[in-house]
Chains A and B, each alone.
Chain A
């Protein structure tokens, strides 16, 4: 299974709609970094509205994706994190600190414009 990555001008948009298993997560990490490189993207919005569970493995992959994107010059905004997911992340002791977040994809794009001053 592969998570689709959409291109919108300088940005990449991802809406995760499937249950993420470990391989899908790793594949996504690779695909996203390749896309950032190919397109010279400056921003990425990852929408998690449909994601019902983030365990420590998925959290690690997400955290890695964010720091690697940053290294490549693309800012990541996470959107739509469900309250239940936010609460379980706290129980796991995982803090996605310093990661810009927004309510939904649209707000995520607004946040990118602001963060990047474009």
Chain B
């Protein structure tokens, strides 16, 4: 894999493309099947949020080697409307679209490290890291 790669999210089918690519990269990096599924699921949630709430954006993948550990950084970026209340959207069940409201809190639990940044009117960036066990 290239040190960094990304998928643009513009249409619904890109959600599938992004999670398939994430799974392939995770497999190649040595993640087990359960973690591959966790990574693919997290990407699916982030990509759908981009598609639903921002219209378009990117999912990028980066392999990280730190102190003998290998990890995968997933970054979801968009220039959409942003999120006014960060703690609210991290509550299980909070949704503005009739969804399950399980996406962002779920991604946090699926990841080893999770970071959500957003500015109203500017956009949103979610970054999560999963370490190979």
What CA separation (Å) do A54 and B38 show in the bound complex? 10
Checking A53, A82, A87 against B44 with a beta-carbon cut-off of 8 angstroms, the contacting residue is: A53
The total of interchain contacts (Cβ-Cβ below 8 angstroms) comes to 76
Checking A53, A83, A84 against B19 with a beta-carbon cut-off of 8 angstroms, the contacting residue is: A53
What CA separation (Å) do A26 and B40 show in the bound complex? 21
Number of A residues with CB within 8 Å of any CB on chain B: 22
The A-contacting residues of B in range 31-79, CB under 8 angstroms, are 33-34, 36-38, 40-41, 44-45, 48
- Given the complex, which residues of A lie within 8 Å of B45, measured CB to CB? 55-56, 92
Checking A22, A57, A85, A93 against B37 with a beta-carbon cut-off of 8 angstroms, the contacting residue is: A85
Is the pair A21, B16 in contact by a Cβ cutoff of 8 Å? Answer: yes
B106 CB within 8 Å of chain A: yes
Is the pair B40, A53 in contact by a Cβ cutoff of 8 Å? Answer: yes
B9 CB within 8 Å of chain A: no
Checking A60, A83, A84, A85 against B100 with a beta-carbon cut-off of 8 angstroms, the contacting residue is: A60
Q: A53-B23, A91-B41, A92-B102 are in contact. List 18 more A-B contacts (CB 8 A).
A: A19-B16, A21-B13, A21-B16, A22-B15, A22-B48, A53-B41, A56-B45, A57-B99, A83-B34, A84-B33, A84-B37, A87-B34, A87-B37, A88-B110, A92-B106, A93-B92, A93-B106, A93-B109
